[in-house]
Chain A
Amino acid sequence: MIPPRALVVWCPDWPVTAIGLDAAAPAAVVSGALVEACSAAARASGVRRGQRVRDAQRHCPELVVRERDTDAEGRLFESVAAAVSGVTPWVEVVRPGVCAIPVRGAARYHGGGADDEESLRVHVQDTVVEQGFDCGAGIADGLFAADLAARAGEGGVVVPPGETPAFLAPYPVSVLGRPELTDLLGRLGIRTLGAFAALPVRDVTARFGVDEIRAHRLARGLYPRPPAPRPPLADLSVSTEFDPPAVAAEQVIFAAKSLAERLHEALAAEALTCVRIGVEVTGADGRTLTRLWRHDGALSALAVAERVRWQLASWEPQGEDGQEGGVALLRLLPDQLVADDGRQEALWGEATVSDQIARAAARVQAMLGHQAITRPFPAGGRGPGERLVQVPFGDLPPEPAAEGPWPGRVPDPPPAAVHPEPLPATVTDADGAPVMVDARCAVSAPPHEVEIAGRRHVVTAWAGPWPARERWWDPARARRRARFQVVTGDDRAHLLVFEGGHWHVEAGYT
């Protein structure tokens, strides 16, 4: 995929500018004993990045040396970003000294067509220079190439669409900013991006890791990261304060619902949606509990409120004396913002839920709570009740079930009714003695009669046992069960289970 065209504004030697040193005077910004950045005049005297300060001073005795101030770099660059946002509001600050804007929207805003990229480039450059900052501006396919284009020529160039790989080819591999890879490729005789890009993708993926594969994509002009611009100053988080602190969980949950609605509206106004939502609960005692909740797209206010409820449940037991309890502040933070294309893709490869179904389910959730309406998903297990998990509507389904084998699973067809609570039963043999199953799964006598809910039925056919010895490695949760199928005189079929000396009816086949 060819990345969308981006314009990058690059202010040279930004750490030096931020400290207020003139580019004409030889100056260097250091951190520790190494030079981090230097002015053009210092560079002309032989000062380089990464040099030891003492070596730099040997090259340039009149060098002014200052400690690096990253706060000032960020603060001062805000004025550059603000100037650029006069052209388009979609400014992404890559790092202090470098910011990017998408070309498409900006060119339209600027009034020109796609062929007017040069005039846009000059316009942006002039805008920044008018603020008193030296800068270069470049346009290319993708941020990486645009960054290099901003440094090329006199104050930047425009790389025509599709020519990015050719533009990148002569650059040394070191511009990828991966010293180890540069070293390795150098020893392989690969010194330029063009040579690196010429390596077959298959071989690169076979030999290298994820990071190197990304570097390879960069070198081919394919880096798929579009500028992820956000309008400046748009803090989309919403919060509410409780004064006095809310003691009842219901009060917090109710507030969470209306907060979620506000968040929903704010996101919709920006045509954004979020993949995860962060819930931050601050107690009256100053404790803060933050959780990220993932959501598969249906960001309903009720679902958010329900997650706040779960979070509060994990919160309350910690208030030992119960005196300083209560929630003082609740904040919802949208996380991983993505453009809202109207519908999120279903994560498990099927998008069957229509709006109408979602609406009906939401109405039921409004009446009975988030967990009251569920969808069944297959799960692994031996008993019929274990072959299914019910997931609240709108939540992510569990990981796909393990595909067996499940030795001891009762063969199909599956029963039509699985009792939520197994019904107690008594099974007796022809002499009226209880039928037992021993540790070796031997049945004491053929079952003759079954008593279920006070009614006695003659057994006409039976089979079993299907033994299920589960979690034998965990004494606390280990279970040994034996299952039987029986048909009774009234033509009904049951699934019985024997465990710990007692019989239960687990399911019915009627």
Chain B
Amino acid sequence: MLPVLHEVVPEGGLRPGSVTVVEGSPTLALALTAGLGERWCAVVGLPEAHIPAAASMGGDPMRVLLVDDPGRRWADVVAALTDGCALVLTRPPDRPAPQVVRRLTALARRNGCALVVTGPWEGANLRLRVEEGHWSGLGTGTGHLRGRRALVVSSGRGAAGPGRRVWLWLPAPDGTVAPAAETPETPVRAPVAVAG
């Protein structure tokens, strides 16, 4: 996992068999796939996930498997991919039944795979969401999007406990993820260059 995310993900990262739910921020979900090094990740059921964004945060696009439309075989596809991938990022087509949740969690734990879910899930170990975000770089008709300071809030069971609140650049102006100050004294302004 990216070192900068240790602030929000306790106990040193995503453990095998753990389920992390990311609410409402594809960027944050992709950031979790970015720090895998030589290991593979799979993206199941998120045809809109844009791999170049993960690549600019440090992920290796050559080690990504994409299953855009698993259809009714969603659970079987995720189960197959936990064997081999270090992380499976997925959105269930609908709220999965408790026995499916148990089966996938058990398989993931056995195969050493972490699950990141953007969607409904009962009994996740950790929930992450972006509570507040401030984009910079864009004026009125000038500049271009450069980065976003985001307040990432985590909540969960056990050690995750009462929840953590961390300001991150998500993404930073260079495309990566970086720690951010709570309130920038001087807001980052767009350069003068006019787009187009």
In the assembled complex, the CB of B43 is this many whole angstroms from the nearest CB of chain A, namely 9
Partner of A491, one of B56, B133, B190: B133
A135–B132 CA distance with the chains assembled, in angstroms: 89
CB distance from A117 to the nearest CB of B (A): 48
Option from B27, B29, B67 in Cβ contact (under 8 Å) with A364: B67
Size category of the binding interface on chain B: 35 or more
A418:B48 contact, CB within 8 angstroms: yes
A510–B77 alpha-carbon span in the complex (Å): 27
- What 0/1 pattern do residues 65 to 103 of B give for CB contact below 8 A with A? 111111101001100110111000000000000000000
Contact B145 A413 (CB under 8 A): yes
In the complex, residue of chain A having the shortest beta-carbon distance to the beta carbon of B54: A416
Q: Which residue of chain B has the shortest Cβ distance to A385 in the bound complex? A: B50
Contacts of A456 in B (CB 8 A): none
Query: What is the CB-to-nearest-CB distance from A49 to chain B, in angstroms, rounded to a whole number?
Result: 58
Knowing A364-B77, A373-B66, the reply to whether A412 touches B175 (Cβ < 8 A) is yes
- Bitwise, A334-360 to B at CB < 8 A (1) or not (0) is 000000000000000010101011011
Contact: A413 with B135, CB < 8 Å? no
**Number of residues of chain A lying within 8 A (CB) of chain B:** 56
Is A289's beta carbon under 8 Å from chain B? no
Is the Cβ of A374 less than 8 Å from the Cβ of B50?
A: no
Contact stretch, chosen from A190-198, A278-286, A305-313, A387-395: A387-395
Q: How far is the CB of A452 from the nearest CB of chain B, in Å?
A: 14
**A415→B133 contact, CB < 8 A:** no
With an 8 A cutoff between CB atoms, is B138 at the interface? yes
Q: Does A95 contact B (CB under 8 A)?
A: no
Q: How far is the CB of A351 from chain B (nearest CB, A)?
A: 10
Contacts A352-B63, A415-B50, A463-B138; A485 near B145 (Cβ below 8 A): yes
Q: Name B residues whose Cβ lies closer than 8 Å to a Cβ of A.
A: 24-27, 29-30, 38, 40, 42, 47-53, 56, 61-71, 73, 76-77, 80-81, 83-85, 130, 132-135, 138-148, 171, 173, 175, 190, 195-196
- Chain A interface residues toward B at CB < 8 A: 350, 352, 354, 356-357, 359-361, 363-364, 367-368, 372-378, 384, 387-388, 390, 393, 408, 410-420, 441, 443, 446, 461-467, 485-487, 491-493, 507-510
- Give 7 new A-B contacts, CB below 8 A, not counting A373-B67, A411-B195, A413-B173: A357-B84, A378-B61, A416-B27, A416-B53, A420-B48, A462-B140, A491-B134
